[in-house]
Amino acid sequence: MSEKIVSFFSGAGGLSLGFALADLKPVLGVDINDDAYSTYKSNLGIPCHNLDLNASDKCSLIDLLSPYKEVFAVIGGPPCQGFSTAGSRNELDSRNQLIFNYFAIVEYLKPKWFLFENVEGLLTSNSGKSVFELVRRFISLGYLLRLEKVNFAAYGLPQSRKRAIVIGNRIGAFFHFPPETHSFNAGKHNKLLPLFPHSPTLDEAISGLPEAVSYECFLPYTHAETSSEYEHFIRQSNNSGGVKHHFSTPSANELERYSLLEPGQTMKDLTESLWHPSFRKRAFRRVKDGTATEKRGGAPAGIKRLYSHLCSPTITSASSREFIHPSLDRALTLRECARLQSFSDRYVFSGNTSSIAIQIGNAFPPLVAMRFAQHLMQIEAKVGSGLISLKEWEAQLIGYRLTDASGMSPALMHTESLLKSLMFNLG
């Protein structure tokens, strides 16, 4: 397909890889992080610029953007740490401004479509005003858009990963998000739908990998055959015959902790003498200073041994330190985390261990990106064939989904009350 896609806040390239798998390969990527920039260029072969999208030098940015006006789509996920429930949720965090830098790019380029991704915490940040203002601004540019909180496991990802997605178009197409394709069970988060296949379990997602070693090196596969559809997807484009980033180096103290944990157990199930100092501090912080759970960095699990028969919990930059293999006394390797994020085994990440963990944890899963890209193509095909008629329309929010739960928190209820004011003329 000849439609041009441009990616901003591109990270290691998960979103771009997914669009490329759907024959919508981006023509441009932009990211500030040196290692992510290097990973993107070396794996995707797409022109990528190492640029701060929050910089005061707007002239260089305009020079970069000017050839891409009115492209088919702008895609991207601005850094989310300021909104994340795994962080401090500081409403004054300067990184929060980046969502409006993304808006400014859309405003300048005026693409037919845009796809914006962020953490679910965006939905309630600043009492819902942040997401309301972002949606309002997109509408002011003439876009029809939808906002939904999506669990990517419902699209076949072997991981419970909830994200806020905004998709918009300025061609007048009233649309829906791609239909969910899978049931999933991640323990705390699950959605069991009759007749739907189950998303791969953690065990299925990491199967077929060679035994992990204690240092970074290339490890050949021990079996040429794949054991599941998901493993086939992960390995199909890997011509190297093996993997990198599949190593683990637990210390003696860590081995002792790991050996005492059963699947589902966390640091709190160990005797206090084995707790990490950082875990002890987080575990008692609420008692000492009254800091609410959502403000102190999430639930203080410390480490957790995973279940092999369930989907993985959300992969973050800490997963290769905190998520323990279901049956082996070690943490997940970087390669296992990359698989749970649906990166191909051929993907090689640049940087040190910490940098790679961040790139993997921050990525948009390529498998899910592919599903969304395919859906946009289907909508475009229906518009072109007349199956979707472009009637007279007015820019607006045409739909939202803030939760799958039967109830709604007071914070989400407040966000909903704001969003409702942006919906009209839908009859």
Token couple for 395:
């820019």
Domain edges within the chain? 5-189+366-420, 202-362
Percent of the chain past pLDDT 70, that is, above it, reads: 89
pTM of the model: 0.92
Q: What is the pLDDT of residues 1-32, one digit of tens each?
A: 468 999 999 999 999 999 999 999 999 999 99
> What is the DSSP annotation of 34-76?
HHHHHHHHHHH---EEE--TT-S-HHHHHHHHGGGTT-SEEEE
Q: What is the pLDDT of residues 198-257, one digit of tens each?
A: 999 999 999 999 999 999 999 999 998 999 999 999 999 999 999 999 999 999 999 999
Q: Which residues contact 367 (CB under 8 A, 6 or more apart)?
A: 18, 155, 156, 157, 233, 342
Q: Which of 48, 59, 80, 311 is catalytic?
A: 80
Return mean pLDDT, the chain. Answer: 90
Contact 367, 233 (CB under 8 A): yes
Contact 317, 355 (CB under 8 A): no
Does the pLDDT at position 373 exceed 60? yes
Which architecture characterizes domain 5-189+366-420 according to CATH? Answer: 3-Layer(aba) Sandwich (3.40)
Asked whether the domain spanning 202-362 has the same topology as the one spanning 5-189+366-420, the reply is no
59 is catalytic: no
Cα 349–chain centre separation: 17
CB-based burial of residue 228 (10 Å sphere; 0-12 exposed, 13-18 middle, 19+ buried)? middle
Q: Which of 357, 317, 366, 361 is nearest to 13 (CA)?
A: 366
Assign domain 202-362 to its CATH superfamily.
Answer: DNA Methylase, subunit A, domain 2 (3.90.120.10)
